[in-house]
A and B are shown apart, each in its own frame.
Chain A
Amino acid sequence: MSHFIDVCALDDIHLDTGVCALVNDQQVAIFRPAATEQVFAINNYDPIGKANVLSRGLISEVKGNLTVASPLYKQHFSLDTGSCLEDESIRITTYATKIENNRVLVAL
């Protein structure tokens, strides 16, 4: 299976915000919600706004689901599953993550 790649220090991501990392030529949006100790990774491309911007969206809890609201047109994408709450037919890729020694790792 895919292996984990180290992308940045946990402290590089301000609490409750996201960053974008380049992992094997893929743009990956990584979020650090204040709600959990975990980090989440999804593809950075907003299929509706058609731009690489999801990492810059606001982390938003909708009925118990942690999502990111697109900074362009505000659709919500689940951080866990990548599905778009406003349009069932859209689901973006999610990636496995883990935190080790205060470093963030992502597996494609």
Chain B
Amino acid sequence: MTNKQNLIVIGNGMVGHKFLESLVESEQAPNFNITVLCEEPRPAYDRVYLSSYFSGKTAEDLSLVSDGFFETNHIQLKLNCSAEHIDRQGKTVTTQQGEILSYDKLVLATGSYPFVPPVPGHERENCLVYRTIEDLEAITAGAKNSKVGVVVGGGLLGLEAANALKDLGLETHVVEFAPRLMAVQVDEAGGALLKSKIQELGVRVHTNKNTQNITDGDTCKHKMEFADGESLETDLILFSAGIRPQDAIARRCDLELGARGGISINNHCQTSDDNIYAIGECALWGGMIYGLVAPGYNMAKVAAQHISNSGAASFEGADMSTKLKLMGVDVASIGDCHARSEGALSYAYTDEVNQVYKKIVVSADKKLLLGAVMIGDAEDYGNLLQMALNNIELPASPEALILPTLDGAAKPMLGPDALPDSAQICSCYDVSKGAICCTVQDGAQTLGDIKAETKAGTGCGGCTALVTQVMNSELAKLGVEVNTDICEHFAYTRQDIYNIVRIEGIKSFSELLSKYGKGHGCEICKPLVGSVLASCWNEYVLDNKHIGLQDTNDIYLGNMQKDGTYSVVPRIPGGEITPDGLLVIGQVAKDFGLYTKITGGQRIDLFGAQLHELPQIWERLVAAGFETGHAYGKSLRTVKSCVGSTWCRFGVDDSMGMSIELENRYKGLRSPHKIKFAVSGCTRECAEAQSKDVGVIATENGWNLYVCGNGGMKPRHTDLLAQGLDKETLIKYIDRFLLFYVKTADRLQRTSVWMDNLEGGLDYLKQVVIEDSLGMAEEFERQMEAVVESYQCEWKTTIESPDKLKRFSHFINADKPDENVQFVKERGQIRPASESERMKKDNLIAIS
């Protein structure tokens, strides 16, 4: 106990926290008393994803701290506690509150702060920055009574901030001092293309603008005056003019700093005082400050190993390549993109029609790739980055790497096999090729598995294509056939089958089997094809040519229970039901002696119906106006709703009306798996919409649309797809979303798993649904209209078809029930008798 060392960490940002995580993994961790001083009111959160706070993520969602992390590792965390002073002689740190703490080792992870140019007027009201959750709260509040917003600074962060302002509904401008956007990462031609793309999206870009003064405006709160005599009126100003290392505390205790700031460190991340380390954005290594997490994380590991003496890692610089999507525009930059290396040569390709710009920079001997810029299409990023990082020799004509291919000529691609095991595939989470291969060897088989195990691909998403390639190649090596055939009868994926059926207009299983399959079909392909046919043409599922395709539940339009009886679930759209409706259901249940229960989906389930009773029960229900609830189908189940604005004092809009409309619109749609919706009347979210495949929440600005949530075995919260929608747009987006899912998902794949495996993730989905990047939006809407128009209540059709009713009898040749079906009473209702109760014939209820 006595020889424990005191370790103090100043700052609990992304890097400071990674340091703690790395340190506690070491066997030496118990030898340290760790204290963390955190200036912010909450422990570490994901700053990289800060903007998602605007699209509905909460501070809790963004948290980087695993449950009980500080407690289990006995780390003392002091929130709202900033370090004021370091006494290097006495080895103590004094906090703002005046507490004095002594240390043996000290780690500075103080990050950086946003630079606000000292323009007169910069401290006026609604002049804000973009770094912490508190900043975002201030921006949201400021945007409430603003019409126009200006971002000062057209770098990476500035453009991200501009996107946020645009989403908050402001007329948005970007003011940049330099002659182009993203001057650090992008060259002149790329910057010009980026500017025009971003202008097209409704953000106005002003380059070459030097702000000299901010004063009162005439039409808005402020007027910004520029050096060229022009001016711009705005209500809100966001400064994003670069970051500066937070090195004040180091300066005060005379640690060595760089000429332009930053705490100098060596390869072990030690400062000029051996007992003090600096990591992350406050640290200066080799004259560089790295404004990205990945290098910071690397420093955190190096420092943790050095302090705990548990490894010999050293920090040797980092790659600053980036790929991102700014307002839906792909932007990527690799290495020396300005061709500054000696003798460097470049190739460029511009396509003004499709607005694509690509450039590569190669060494004088044309053997190595030194850098690249891509705007508008960054698909080649992963490939090019690996070539640059691993010094892979270029093909004879390097220009082929960026030229479009004509008529199927293959691009010189870098197979994953060409990469060394150490190649970093995901730079956000520092995941190497070797790590992905190990995960596959341990049983991972899908992109979703890899994401869950290694986090690769869950950051910027730029690496997903490459991660998939590495995974598939490793699976192939292990002899795991990456067989995507649905079964022995069809050598196709579900998506192939869907496309074949749709494009060739195939209407029956036998037609598809004779043209594209072999053998006679099985319990995998038959229901799959049945479902695809129903999605496409929406014919009656018990039609003679479809009946043999239906699985356990669909074939009798009910859910089979353990004893062979069925449950009956009438549709109750939105959960709204009249007293008369309740009486009918009650009377039917009573007359047929059924067990009744309110389901988890806000409706009523009647259990214990025998096959021959189903038509009689449904005849009564249909006569009273009920329709089938498709509880048996891979189709829309329920649209759960809260009571909404008609009754609730907090309701913002009519969630009931909306849910009923949605349920009635999509009730006939057959899909790869069941689909659940919910609609809430305000953000209190009583309908739990954020756990559904499709969730809709009313806000002051319109409906917010959430997608791909799941309860069940592996819960997943939804992602916000679009916000502030009117009803018409909402329905259009849902149509497109659902049909895109129906078209591309695997068999029995819920939207949540589909999304986790969707290359490009949420951004890609937004492109397809909102920006119509596939050009299929109209087609999707038309197909949905066809599904809506061809809806029929399957039970109504069935009770009206005498030849179908014949099948609803336990015996084809006798009018008797199945004597194996027996019930006993429990809490005033029936339940299936157990085997022994059946044998003893104890208390059995007489069956009709």
Contact = CB atoms under 8 A, between A and B. Distances in A.
**Are A and B physically bound partners?**
yes
A87 interface: no
A63 interface: yes
B591 to A, nearest CB: 25
Nearest to A64: B519
B261 interface: no
Contact of A20 (B523, B552, B555, B811): B811
Interface string A50-94: 111100111111111010010110100000000000000000000
Contacts of B562: 49, 51, 72
Interface string B594-622: 00000000000000000000000000000
A60 B811 contact: no
B812 A58 contact: no
Contacts of A14: 544, 547-548, 807
* Interface range on chain B (Cβ under 8 Å from partner): 20 to 34
B400 interface: no
Contacts of A49: 562
Contacts of B820: 45, 51-52
Contact of B816 (A22, A62, A63, A71): A22
A19 to B, nearest CB: 4
A60 to B, nearest CB: 4
B521 interface: yes
Interface string A83-107: 0000000000000000000000000
Given A52-B820, A71-B552, A72-B560, A8 B523 contact: no
A16 B811 contact: no
Contact of B548 (A15, A19, A52): A15
A17 B552 contact: no
Contact of A53 (B527, B548, B560, B811): B560
Contacts of A1: none
Contacts of A19: 807, 812
A51 B552 CA distance: 14
A57 B553 CA distance: 10
Nearest to B835: A50
Contacts of B488: 62-63
Given A52-B564, A60-B526, A12 B806 contact: yes
Interface string A30-60: 1001110000000001000111110011111
A45 B835 CA distance: 14
Contacts of A22: 811, 813-814, 816
Nearest to B553: A71
Nearest to B818: A52
Interface residues of A, number: 37
A32 to B, nearest CB: 9
A53 B556 CA distance: 12
Contacts of B555: 17, 56, 58
Nearest to A61: B520
The CB with the most chain A CB atoms within 10 A, among B510, B564, B807, is that of: B564
B521 A61 contact: yes
Interface string B787-821: 00000000000000000001100111110101010
Given A13-B812, A51-B564, A61-B489, A69 B548 contact: no
B563 interface: yes
B522 A62 contact: yes
A66 B807 CA distance: 22
B256 interface: no
Nearest to B811: A22
Contacts of A51: 562-564, 820
Contacts of B816: 22
Contact of B551 (A7, A30, A53, A58): A58
B33 to A, nearest CB: 56
A65 to B, nearest CB: 10
Contacts of A7: 812-813
A74 B524 CA distance: 10
Interface string A1-30: 000000110001111110111100001001
Interface in B435-469: none
Interface of A: 7-8, 12-17, 19-22, 27, 30, 33-35, 45, 49-53, 56-64, 66, 69, 71-72, 74
Q: 7 tightest CB-CB pairs across the interface, nearest first?
A: A16-B548, A71-B552, A69-B523, A60-B522, A35-B520, A51-B564, A19-B812
25 contacts: A7-B813, A12-B806, A14-B548, A16-B547, A16-B548, A16-B549, A17-B555, A19-B812, A20-B811, A20-B812, A34-B520, A50-B835, A51-B820, A53-B564, A56-B556, A56-B564, A57-B523, A58-B523, A58-B526, A58-B527, A61-B489, A62-B522, A71-B551, A71-B552, A71-B560
Given A56-B560, A60-B523, 12 more contacts: A8-B813, A12-B806, A14-B548, A16-B549, A17-B555, A49-B562, A51-B820, A56-B555, A58-B522, A58-B552, A62-B522, A71-B560
